[in-house]
Amino acid sequence: MSASDPTQTPSDTAEVIDARRREMAVEHILFGALRHLAGRHPEMLDELDASLDHLWDRSEGTARDDEAVREIARRFIKSLRAET
């Protein structure tokens, strides 16, 4: 849906914006917590990296892309390694 989509109501737009903001806040807090823990327990990053085979995409149909989700996690882990 786009802003010009006549089927999209203002509350839909507000809900999408709120969800995006919550996601950004959670990512920031989680990344900060992981960075703190990885500084004290660097082996944790190896364990997280090894667990990625179990990570999957909850989407269904053609939108599902397990490997894309794993790649995002790999980038997070790589970033954490660079900061520790």
- How many whole angstroms separate alpha carbon 28 and alpha carbon 52? 20
What does pTM read for this prediction?
A: 0.71
pLDDT for 6 equals 61
- How many whole angstroms separate alpha carbon 36 and alpha carbon 83? 10
Per-residue pLDDT of the chain (84 residues; tens, 9 = 90+): 455 566 666 667 888 899 999 999 999 999 999 999 999 999 999 999 999 999 999 999 999 999 999 999 999 999 999 988
Domain definitions of the chain by residue range: 10-83
